[in-house]
Structure formats: C-alpha cells, structure tokens
Chain A
Amino acid sequence: MNNLLSVNSIRFIVLVLIQVLIFNHINFMGYINPYPYILFIALFPVKSNRAIIILSSFLLGLIIDMFLDSGGIHAAACVFIAYVRPIILKFSFGTMYEHHNIKFGAVDFGSKITYITLLVILHHIILFSLEIFSLPKVILVLQKTLFSSIFTILLSIIITIIFSRKSK
C-alpha cells in the first residue's frame, strides 16, 4: 500500500513537470499540444476509493492550471474524467473490471487503446470547449480536440509501453 502511494505521488510530480516544461512548448503547427499528464488518472489504481481519485484529479488539474494560467479548465476536465472513469473501465474491459483485477501492465492491447482513447477524447472536448468558451466556434473546438487527441493518444500509448514493467 505504501509502495502504491509513493509510485503514484512520483508519477504525479513527474507528469506535471514534463507537461509544463516540455509538452506545452511543442506547439506543433502553431497550436497543437499533447496533454499526456492525464495518464495519472488513467493509471490510478482501480480498487481505490472513488473520492480519492476525484480529489487527486482535481488537485492535478488545478496545479496544471496554475502553471499555464488557464483558470480552471484543466481541473474541470480532470474531475470529469475521474468521475466517469468507472463507466469507461466497464465499457472497455468488460467483465475483468467487475472482478476488480485489472493490472494495466497485463491487459489486452486493444482494450487498453479503447480505454485511453475514450478518456483522452472526453478530457479534450471539455478542455477545449471551456478554453474557447463560445458557441459559434464549435468547429474550432472539434478541430483542436481531434488533432490534440491523436497526439496525446499516441504519446500516452508510447509512454505506457516504455514504462510498463515486464510481466513474466
């Protein structure tokens, strides 16, 4: 349990630092930035209390907002995906989730992609609608969501592959 706590705290700090110091300065084609810091929420232990994940996601979003001077948009998006995470888990992993024995290192690759994709797209839609905050610019929101999502999903999957412990 103690080990779990330290792993998650280190992941929290490292993901925040990488996000604000590297990934926010990529500006691919002018405005496309990936947001792989939400891997923290994606990889949060499944068995833990729901209140804890919602609270820590809020904290994560708020710290990112503080660094990026963006008000509360990241906090809102993070809280939302933390709240709906069980539904997405059930959808993408099916019965495995109901028995509460998901190990993210050892799941089927296809369902892992579904899981990350759903989380990222939900997060980005909320993030960019709040960032742009105007109804006439719906096209811009969708465009930003699409491009950033592709970028984030690719990066997230690469990161999980690189840092997954070999299960033998």
Chain B
Amino acid sequence: MQQIINFIIRNKNFLLFLLLFSISILFTIQSHSYHKSKFINSANFLTGSIYNSANNISIYLNLRSQNKLLFEENKRLKSLLYNLESSIKTNHSDSLNVPYYFSNAQVIKNNYSAPDNVLLINKGTNDSIKQDFGVITTEGIVGIINEISGNYATVISILNTTSSISAQLKKTNHIGSLTWNAKDPAFVQLTDIPKIAPVVIGDTIITSGRSSIFPKNIPIGTIAYFNLDAAENYYEINVKLFNDMTNLEHVYIIENINKPEITNLLNE
C-alpha cells in the first residue's frame, strides 16, 4: 500500500497529464458523433454572449452585401406573391396544412477552414428550436441544428466531414448523399449516384426530401465535374454550392411539423 501511494506521489504530474490528456481525447472522439458534444460546445451562455457582442460590431462590415441578398430575395418573393395571389384566394381553407414552419436567425459565428465546421446562431430553446431542424439561406442549404441552449444553437455545417445529407439530381430522381472532403468551402461532394444516371456538367442538385429534415426542392448547387468511383459503379460528383458559405448572416430554420409522426412510423 505504501509503495502504491509513493508511486502516485512520485509520478503525480505524469498521472495528471495522462488523466487530462485522455479526457481531451474522449471529448475529441465524442465530438465526431452527432448529439454527443454535450459539454464542449459553443451554445452556452459564456461563448454565446461573447460571440453575440462581437457580431454586433462586425455586422456593420458586410451590411451592403447582406442587404443585397435580402433585396434579391424580396424581389423573388414579391413576384411569387403576385403570381400566386389569384390561386390563393380560391383555396385558403387549407392554409393550416403547411407541413414546414420557417423561422429566421442570424449566424453569430461562422467557420469554414477546419475539417469539421460548426456554426453558431442566435436562436435556441426559447424560440422553440430543437435538434435536427434544417438550416438554409435564401440561396441554398447550410446545415442541421446540433446542440441547443436557451438562446443559442450550434449548426453542423454541410462543410463538416461528419455531415451527410440526402440530395438528388433535379432532372431525375437519382438519390445520393452529400458529404465534404474538407478541401474547398465552395465545393461539396455528392456520392452514391448510380452509373446509369444521366449526369451532365451544369445540372442542378436539390435536396431529396427523404430525410424529413429538409423539404424537397431546396437548391444546393450545380455539378462542376464528376468521375466514377474506384469500383466504377457510382459517380463521385463535385457540386459547386449556390450559397457562399464564407459569407453567411441571415438564415432560415425549417421545422418539419410531421417529423415526429414520420420518425415514429419508421421506428415501429
């Protein structure tokens, strides 16, 4: 017993180092799987409020470009509104039947240089945001909500090697999964598209709506170039994103109201 205590006292620094090092490795491994980074994430009061106040200052630096984006979207929505006005008037009885609910948020921390990028937005449980809600901009998709606190939430960006989102070709219904190879923030990779699919450079890629996170038909990007994988059965497609992931400010959060029902059905 005496010897064990002596050993601990003699090597206390090494043991302390070993303990803390293994704790850090544990946190690192946990952060590679969804919904496991419970303690070490930026959606807490301290980091959230610091990023929020820093963002309040830096928001002025890109007001012009953000205004232009919102203006473009207003224009698009206005044209949709006036074109649809007549048809809405005739059947406004089923207006409560919309399956998707949208809310807006601001990105207060954006990151795109690491292999696993995580964003922070200024909405949380107080605004009825929950895990696995989709996040999009006016131009394309951004990611999926991961950890949430009262006023903040982290978003697993599509520029994250652990993220995988179901996507398809706009022309046909061939479905693949969208991943990122951690190289260029302007390009993501679409894999598992079968060889038989008619893939052409410049075609549009949209969300498939199969994951019950994103609705169908949200634009993602266009095909930049493609090649067959090692087994020559599937295409590996490089997709040029529509939205500029390095310049994000206003985003929309999508809640699928039917999601609990769908997941229940799938689990049975």
Contact = CB atoms under 8 A, between A and B. Distances in A.
Contact of B115 (A24, A66, A72, A131): A131
B112 interface: yes
Interface in A76-115: 76, 79-80, 82-83
A55 interface: yes
Interface residues of B, number: 40
B112 A27 contact: yes
B24 A72 contact: yes
Interface in B104-120: 111-116, 118, 120
B42 A79 contact: no
A interface residue count range (under 10 / 10 to 19 / 20 to 34 / 35 or more): 35 or more
Contact of B16 (A51, A71, A133): A51
Interface string A23-37: 010010011110000
A65 B27 contact: yes
A69 B41 CA distance: 5
A73 B37 CA distance: 13
Contact of A79 (B24, B31, B40, B41): B24
Given A58-B24, A71-B31, A66 B116 contact: no
Most chain B CB within 10 A, of A55, A67, A71, A75, is at A71
A73 B112 CA distance: 17
Interface string B5-23: 0000000111011001101
A24 B54 CA distance: 13
A164 interface: no
Given A65-B27, A69-B42, A76-B24, A30 B113 contact: yes
A104 to B, nearest CB: 22
Contact of B37 (A21, A54, A71): A71
Contacts of B27: 62, 65, 71-72, 75
A69 to B, nearest CB: 4
A71 B114 contact: no
A70 interface: yes
A19 to B, nearest CB: 12
A14 interface: no
Contacts of A73: 24, 28
B111 to A, nearest CB: 7
Contact of B21 (A20, A21, A24, A79): A79
A159 interface: no
B134 interface: no
Interface string A121-138: 000000000111100000
Contacts of B126: none
Contacts of B78: none
A76 B112 CA distance: 22
A67 B47 contact: yes
Contacts of B23: 58, 72, 75
A75 B20 contact: yes
Contacts of B26: 72
Given A69-B42, A69-B118, 6 more contacts: A27-B112, A30-B113, A30-B185, A71-B28, A75-B24, A83-B14
12 contacts: A55-B16, A58-B23, A66-B46, A68-B111, A68-B114, A69-B154, A70-B116, A71-B31, A72-B27, A76-B24, A76-B28, A131-B114
